[in-house]
Amino acid sequence: MSQTFDVIVIGAGPAGYISAIRAAQLGKSVACVEKWVNPAGERVLGGTCLNVGCIPSKALLASSEQFEQIAHHASDHGIAVKGASMDVGKMHARKDGIVTKMTKGIEFLFRKNKITWLKGTASLMGEQDGSIVVAVRETEGAEPSISLARNLVIATGSKARHLPGIPVDNELICDNEGALRLSAVPKTLGVIGAGVIGLELGSVWRRLGAEVKILEAAPQFLAACDGAVSKEVFKIFTKQGLSIEMGVKIGEVKAGSKQVSVAYTDAQGAAHTQTFDRLIVSVGRVPNTEGLHLESIGLSTDERGFIPVDDQCRTAKPNVFAIGDVVRGPMLAHKGEDEGVLVAEVIAGQKPHIDYNCIPWVIYTSPEIAWVGKTEEQLKAEGRAFKAGQFPFAANGRALGLGSSDGFVKVLADAASDEILGVHIIAATASDLIAEAAVAMEFKAASEDIARICHPHPSLSEVVREAALAADKRALNG
Ligand code: FAD
Ligand code: NAI
């Protein structure tokens, strides 16, 4: 006998599990299908973000940052440390413990909200009386259990893009999954792609002692960032010891028994071959729709594999929605979460809205990079008249005390109305500082609003205020 639910969500990553919780809060009967099995063979919730993405990567970034501070910067404070060493196994055990705590937390939330977890892989089998027929198989080829969805939310996420001819085994050649569990610090680490994962995980293993070389195809470093930011962080990262080569063309990649060799042509056209102990391939992610059988309900993907949706994440079928990494927009956990809330509220008859321009980005390097809204380059391309204010952390007492005085805050505001159009931050805690800018932009604040608000002293947040003052050429401390 099949069971009918008001809402079935496919995928329990941050987009899907949040959508399921919000729909349950709104009184809907909800099931969520999830197929993930962790390396210990256990079925877990949380998707990429909790298992092999945001959470484990931030745990490793924190451990490696502590190690670097203790081993190399404690002496700045007069602390003598001899023989600091890293137990990589213990670092992974800590990370795995955090992941387990978080994934178990979602199981608790599902029980609390009476959400049925359908364990296995979902595929669609057409429609019955206006509901979508969802088949769930516990194992491949197993007899499916059938459920009916009055509303369907597809939140199947994404997976690492691999390159032809580069065999990822997650031992010698890794995507994000292997890169998060290297059993020892490699002496030499190659990274293909100087994007978010390349910089974050490249930083983790560099801090622990690996010699890291990042090979990037694009001519411009971090092209999505404001130009002043990408220029500054390139200098900071190379000074830290990350070797980043832009404009390369990757040739043959050969895996030996212990090492991997990478042939590439540099920006000037010269040929090179370099050998690494480990290689990370981080060249973007692709949406997951394989085996879903979208065609059984009359849907298809676009040319890049994404499920087309409108502003309310509704597909061409009125009772089918798609959210998170499987649809257009930035592949960010918080973007997926907001879409999850949005579709649950749409299904419940509410009229929610997401302003995609106010979604913040963070790269968790040291210092962190964060931004929201438009870059200076985008505003120039749009022909919009704007003013810019920039203020450095080097002039902030709290940053100096913390030993984190690299970076700056840059505020871009409309030349006439003073509305904040973009905020760009390089700072130790840019991930937290950017929240003020996101709130301000959601409220359509002017740079003068931030400039008039009392900020605590001494704090890094004072630099946000000074940058807002600088947009009106009246910074007080600079
Ligand atoms: P996912 O998290 O990918 O979840 C999709 C789920 O659907 C998976 O659990 C999958 O098993 C399940 N599924 C797929 N198909 C089926 C099926 N047919 N049946 C049943 N289940 C199915 N973003 C940030 O915002 N901040 C960060 O710091 C950050 N760090 C990251 C670090 C790394 C190393 C990586 C790889 C990503 C990171 N991201 C980060 C991106 C973030 O993880 C994704 O944007 C986010 O997980 C997308 O959420 P989602 O719910 O759309 O998809
Ligand atoms: P990315 O899109 O950030 O970067 C990929 C990089 O690889 C680009 O710079 C691209 O030009 C380069 N590239 C592509 N093909 C190449 C080739 N053949 N040779 C050399 N370089 C090549 O993708 P990444 O780092 O894999 O991360 C995937 C996504 O995961 C991110 O876009 C982001 O959405 C999400 N993520 C978010 C994080 C965060 O919010 N802090 C952290 C990690 C991932």
Pocket of ligand 2 (CB under 6 A): 163, 192-198, 200, 215-218, 250, 282-285, 330-332, 362-364
**pLDDT of the chain along its 478 residues, tens only?**
799 999 999 999 999 999 999 999 999 999 999 999 999 999 999 999 999 999 999 999 999 999 999 999 999 999 999 999 999 999 999 999 999 999 999 999 999 999 999 999 999 999 999 999 999 999 999 999 999 999 999 999 999 999 999 999 999 999 999 999 999 999 999 999 999 999 999 999 999 999 999 999 999 999 999 999 999 999 999 999 999 999 999 999 999 999 999 999 999 999 999 999 999 999 999 999 999 999 999 999 999 999 999 999 999 999 999 999 999 999 999 999 999 999 999 999 999 999 999 999 999 999 999 999 999 999 999 999 999 999 999 999 999 999 999 999 999 999 999 999 999 999 999 999 999 999 999 999 999 999 999 999 999 999 999 999 999 999 999 8
Ligand 2 centroid, distance to 194 Cα (angstroms): 7
Paired tokens of 439: 């709130």
Q: What are the backbone dihedrals phi and psi of residue 457, each rounded to the nearest 5 degrees, phi first?
A: -120, 135
Give yes or no for residue 155 CB within 6 A of ligand 1.
Answer: yes
Closest-lying ligand 1 atom to the alpha carbon of residue 159: 3
**The pLDDT of residue 468:** 98
What pLDDT shows up at residue 417?
Answer: 98
- In which residue ranges of the chain is CATH 3.50.50.60 found? 3-159+286-354, 173-283
Closest CA to 205 of 404, 67, 324: 67
Spacing of C-alpha 144 from chain mean position? 33
Three-class DSSP category at 455: coil
Written as six digits, the tokens of 283 are 């060249």
Is there an atom of ligand 1 within 6 Å of 47 CB?
Answer: yes
What are the residue ranges of CATH 3.30.390.30 in the chain? 358-470
Residue 166: closest CA among 279, 88, 315, 270: 279
Structure tokens at 296: 């059984």
- Cα 471 to Cα 419: distance, rounded to the nearest angstrom: 11
Tokens standing for residue 92: 């992974």
Confidence at residue 296, expressed as pLDDT on a 0 to 100 scale: 98
195 lines ligand 1 (CB under 6 A): no
CB distance 53 to ligand 1 below 6 Å: yes
Domain 173-283: CATH superfamily, name plus number: FAD/NAD(P)-binding domain (3.50.50.60)
User: Which residues, including other chains, have CB under 8 Å from residue 295's CB and lie 6 or more apart?
Assistant: none
DSSP 403-449: T----EEEEEEETTT-BEEEEEEEETTHHHHHHHHHHHHHTT-BHHH
Q: Closest by alpha carbon to 279, among 148, 189, 163?
A: 189
* Cα–Cα dist 205/240, whole Å: 12
Would residue 46 be called left, alpha or beta, if left means φ above 0 and alpha means ψ between -120 and 50 degrees?
Answer: left
Instruction: Output the CA 140–ligand 1 centroid distance in Å.
Output: 21
- For residue 284, what pLDDT is reported? 98
Distances (CA, A) of 312 to 157, 276, 319, 340, 417: 18, 46, 12, 10, 30
**β-pairing verdict for 408-414 and 361-363:** unpaired
Name residue 429's amino acid: T
Would you mind telling me the total number of residues written for the chain in this entry?
Answer: 478
Tokens of 387: 């003013």
Ligand 1 and 373: CB distance under 6 A: no
Per-residue burial over 226-244, b = 16 or more CB atoms within 10 Å of its CB, e = otherwise? bbbbbebbbebbeeeebeb
At 1 the pLDDT is 72
Return the ligand 1 atom nearest residue 16 CA.
51
User: Which of 49, 145, 177, 371 has most ligand 1 atoms within 8 Å of its beta carbon, as the pocket-test mutant?
Assistant: 49
CB of 442 within 8 A of CB of 360? no
Measured at the CA of 456, the angle between CA 452 and CA 458, to 5 degrees, comes to 125
CB contact at 8 A, 254 and 260:
yes
- What architecture is the 3-159+286-354 domain classified under in CATH? 3-Layer(bba) Sandwich (3.50)
Helix (H) or strand (E) holding 191: strand 188-192
Could you tell me if 218 and 251 are in contact, meaning their C-beta atoms sit under 8 angstroms apart?
no
Active site residues: 457
Report which of 462, 474, 470 is spatially closest to residue 396, judged by C-alpha positions: 462
Closest atom of ligand 2 to 333 CA is 40
Domain range 358-470, CATH class: alpha beta
Q: Token digits for 228? A: 């002043």
